[in-house]
Structure 1
Amino acid sequence: MKIKWMRVLALGLVLGSLGAFIVAAPQRAEALSGSDFNPGNIISDQNFFTTDAMSQNEIQAFLNAQVGTCSNTLCLNVYSMNTATTTLAFGTCATYVGEANESAARIIYKVQQACSVSAKILLVTLQKEQGLVTSKGPTEAILRKALGQGCPDGSSCDPAFYGFFLQVYSAARQFAWYGNPAGSHTSIKVGQTNAVRFHPNTACGSSNVVIQNRATAALYYYTPYQPNQAALANLGGTGDACSSYGNRNFWIQYSDWFGSPTAGKSPVGNVELISGRIGGVQVAGWALDPDTTSPIDVHVYVDGAGRSIQANLSRSDVGAHGYNVTIPVTFPGIHSVCVYGINTLGGTNTQYACSTVVTPGGSPIGGVEAVSGVDGGVAVSGWAIDPDTAQPIDVHVYVSGAAVGYRANKIRTDVGRAYPEYGNNHGFSEKITATPGVHDVCVYAINTSSGANALFGCTSVTVPGNSSITEQGRTPIGAFEAAQGVTGGINVGGWALDPDTASSIAVHIYVDGTGVPYQANKLRTDVGAAFPPYGNNHGFGETIAVTPGNHQVCVYAINTGPGTHAMLGCSAVTVPGAVGITERGRAPVGVIEAAQGGSGGVNVSGWALDPDTAASIEVHVYVDGAGSSYTANKARTDIASAFPGYGASHGFSETVSAPPGAHETCVYAINTGSGVNSLLGCHTVTVPGSVGITEQGRTPIGVLEAVHAVSGGVSVGGWALDPDTAAAITVHIYVDGVGVPYSANKSRTDIAAAFPGYGENHGFGETVSVAQGSHQVCVYAINSGAGAHASLGCSTVTVS
């Protein structure tokens, strides 16, 4: 590696050393801004490592334009020399086939072909090093060290590298070798943070730079300093005592002659983590497309199945271009994982990594956190997960050998944080009825796939109460205390217990001879005081839905063992409302009042009721033969006035998703009992928009634009649409792993303008209530048909 001290010192010192041949910054640097310089991405690999950047004729024409009239025979536009067939001792360059009387343009072109280093790079470096491209009277001394190759700072040049041909060929070999992963230059880590100095003087310091590609690394191997702010603030001149100019001038010169050195590039990035987790594969890293400041998509393929995520997580090193996602897998074991950065403009997609990873699986995990004897039974709580599924699983609780099954689906945000791919719904907290005394309690998590059921543990607990309460075949006791008619039904209340157990018992409530079972387990401290050994949980209070009119209500207390049930009483009750609405097999009635095309679908409204019931009924809306079910339960006071006794809840107003174009729309009112359904009518409706929007299995697109804390919650906003439909789609907003669905249907005229034919109803802006503290917020756009859902991104926010 050679380091050129003379080129990186302040310009005044350099002028003193190199005299008239010092290379100043290009004179049209005012077209650039120092804020545009990215020390981690000075030039793209595509613009640096190429065999066809310029033809020989293009190089010659360029030199003619730059030099003009030469004062001797050594200017690059007129210079020629004999070259020998040469194979370099190391590196990746092909053998150079020598010729007699080769022009400088031909040498540069043939070296470009042999070493796969752009002729533009060689021309800019010739100018940066010695000013040769524009010189009208160079000397032999300058030509023989044209690119400074073999000329270490502070030492004489190596004669083995003298001459224009060897300078160009050897310098290109160094550039290609610097960019070769198999080469000897590995100190600069591409895709990672590197400390890059500002100046040979170590007191001038350095800064951390993420070197984004091989080409930028090659420039730093060649000239290992970056410009400081003083050098960037004065692109046409000098900075301060700690300024260096080599890579700055390269960037300026290339931009001035050939345009942006980073345009048309493929994505860059780094995969920092591929790890097997229970139920999924975690992938993390960063990705960006140098052609845009916007986040780009990353495609993660697990076992050949792709999922699109957006690299938009904030990072201190590369900004909002990070990603960290766990992709669910359906089985434990070995999985292939490939990660790609998706190109946005010029360039191609970039494969970041492909590897294999092992995900664990097998028997359920979890634990019993509490087992205690409580009034009337045993309280058990804990959590359980089967590594083979994100769905809640069953737990079986055995009390004195008798098993009861429960679903472990209660919210446990702590479990969700520990196992984010499984979500929060894996807790259990149950009370198992048991008599007073000592009981053995065992808890099992039930396996769903590979593996076996898991015993979480066994223990003995004591249920409080009078252990003398034993089964003696006694009849239940209690009181039927209230039966009152209310709108829509009957309120029934009282208490009941079986003298042979402290556990709650069932009561059966019969209305006009039809019985429904309920549990007498509501808190009644008065009953507990009257019957101390039995506890407080023996009350009942229920509402039974019935039609208006007179009804007979009877309540029975149900014996838990041998012995008879007990009738607690009967009562006649009148339910207010129109009497005489009974099932007589009549067909529903109603009207379609409107059927018209709207953004994303067909809007249908009207009313419907079944003369045999005051309850709301269903309407089925068919669009081109595909039916959707809705309930006609919206308030319509005009219908209540027209049909006394039936109430107001008989309206409907719905939007059925449909692509742009003409659609046959029919509405049916659905009979609740015997009799036929009623066709309310059919209409041809035209949905506005582009007719070519069809289901093609495409993934939704969108942007998570804002996540910020508000009083009592988190405000989340952005937009989302499914390219396969103009209808509004659903977004799921997850806060700390708990998801809530919302419709992305808010007006966004900018989205309508950007995606003609899809309409404007694709925005979302919601406030999710959360407690104080730090929260992880993730948003997913939900596919409306075939294809995968899309992650719009995640963000961490603190609510104070």
Structure 2
Amino acid sequence: MSTISARVRRAMTLTAAGLLAAASISTAAHAETAGPSSAAADGSTSSAAPSTPAPGTASPTSASPAPTSATATTATPTAEASPSTSTATSSSKPAPSTSAPNSQAPTSSAAAPTSEAKATSAAGNNPEGYLGAWSANDGLIYFTGYAFDRDDFSQKVTTFYTLDGTVVAYQIAQLRSQELDPYGLPSVGVFGAVQAPTAGQHQICMFGGNIGPGQSGIISCFNVYVAQKDPRGDIMVDTPENQIRINGWLLDDSNPQQSLGLWIFDNGRPIAYFVSNAASPYLYPYGVFGNHAFGYMYSPSTSGSHQICVLGANIGFGQNAWIECADVTVDTAASDPWGVMYLSAEDPDSNGLTDFFVYGVAWDPNVTWPVRVGLFLDGQLMPIDYPDWIADLDYSDLNPPGITGKHGYDLWIGEEGYELAAGNHEVCLYVYNQGPGTGQLVQCEYFTV
């Protein structure tokens, strides 16, 4: 019997075309040829899985075109241990029964095959075994099982794997398989994973490279559904003092412990990006730990209706997803600053040039402290090194009804260094915003020097 290295080299000459040809063995051909003992069942629970080719059934001949070694080594999954039996997805697992051979040759207690099976058996045995598969949150399809060839139990079967008809991996069946320990075959197991290209239904098949006089062929197929794991969550939007506040949480089931990034949109325009990494103890009773909460508040630039939407950033096998949208209405004008302005013509520096004093009051309904003001002279913002840009003087006699406190300002236009040219001029009062709302150009006046 050839060595393992020779068998592997022989198996590597199989091409993807050869594997797919083996997969096309018809069910009818299988029905016409009696199979071996119950250990030859394919073990698939899927009605869509092709039947295991029986010994003697036609398979790709040696004339099949040989593949390159690169095809055989694509995406080889590895593992150090097989998952527990509670993870297996199939209840029908062909294993050598009491009629199964030991590690060298069939025992005397083996069940007697039919005359057809004897004729087939004289030509050798095909590889047989079991395949189970399942998907996880990471978009991988995990597989487990075992494969052996009755012609020589001392050699390890090389198994190839197709996903939706395309060869994606190969592996030598040499891991321990506890289910076969009682039969003297402890190291014929396989375990690995292949990446699903998309979410949805996929079929993974195990193909066994023959040892001895039998034929290579499909051992088993398994249908697996791969779920798409997009971000999910919940948001709440309200408008305290005509500001927009968004609170909520989001997570990605691909990694429930990881905090996600998110975008906030206002009427289709992105206005913020950050990570939802605040504590979220209200998710603990549902088995979701880590930090997944977020909160954000801002002052919109316009009054009216605002549609607020949150887009979650994907981290696993899925895509970015809209978490939720909410419509709110705000009146920013109610939160805008305001003021009044008066002009007084004087010549305080006695230079023979007429100067002007601009005075009045300015306030913001969102705060009780003084606000900053600015003056536009002939369309240009005056330099801010003026000492009286803060409206903190006691001009309470100028306060409108309902406004209390110190909100006065008194600014000099035309002082030394800022003399006004003769002619017509325009001065406008601008009040800077505090809190919700926007800064306002509240009043303009014309004067002549």
**TM-score when normalising by structure 1:** 0.21
**TM-score when normalising by structure 2:** 0.33
Point out the structure with the larger strand share.
1
**Larger relative CO (CA 8 A, sep 6+): 1 or 2?**
2
